């Protein structure tokens, strides 16, 4: 399945998915900067950043948070992943990463923690829904290794 093109703001300026043609892209959607699960996920992708780079892969994290929030999150934890701002959930909705979930026993709409592995031609090679943060980055890297 073809990935859906987008351009979102980041602390470093606009980022378009098409800019990464020829590379593998790990596109992950997460609920909120500086929360326990999201921090674990971002730190694990950061720890494996070099291994992803060696596999010609870039990691992009997407949430509703502002670029200012992303800058604080990156600085606080010395993160090495590109974080993109999708305040209106446009890209999250296009990828099915926005929907109904239960938080503290109450139904609500929100980001569904999801990851998409996009191949160098722009095709979705693999997707993960309802991701558990701990160990997920390694799982994605392991799958990437089998696809190259």
The residue ranges of every structural domain in the chain are: 22-143
Structure confidence at residue 102 (pLDDT): 84
Of 17, 38, 117, 137, catalytic: 38
pLDDT digits (tens, 9 = 90+) for 5-32: 999 999 999 999 999 999 999 999 999 9
Q: Report the 10 Å Cβ neighbour count for 20.
A: 19
pLDDT digits (tens, 9 = 90+) for 72-120: 999 999 999 999 999 999 999 999 999 998 878 889 999 999 999 999 9
Q: Contact, 61 vs 5, CB < 8 A?
A: no
Q: Homologous superfamily of 22-143 in CATH?
A: Glutaredoxin (3.40.30.10)
- Reply yes or no on whether 38 is catalytic: yes
Among 114, 107, 117, 142, which Cα is nearest to 58's? 117
């Amino acid at each position: 399945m073809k990935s859906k093109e987008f351009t979102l703001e980041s602390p470093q300026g606009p980022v378009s998915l098409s800019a990464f043609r020829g590379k593998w892209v790990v596109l992950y959607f997460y609920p909120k900067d500086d929360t326990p699960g999201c921090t674990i996920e971002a730190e694990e992708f950061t720890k494996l950043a070099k291994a992803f780079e060696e596999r010609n892969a870039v990691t992009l994290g997407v949430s509703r948070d502002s670029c200012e929030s992303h800058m604080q999150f990156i600085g606080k934890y010395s993160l090495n992943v590109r974080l993109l701002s999708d305040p209106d959930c446009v890209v999250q909705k296009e990828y099915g990463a926005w929907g109904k979930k239960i938080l503290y026993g109450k139904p609500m709409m929100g980001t569904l923690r999801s990851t998409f592995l996009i191949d160098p031609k722009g095709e979705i090679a693999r997707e993960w829904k309802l991701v558990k943060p701990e160990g997920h980055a390694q799982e994605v890297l392991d799958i990437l290794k089998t696809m190259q």
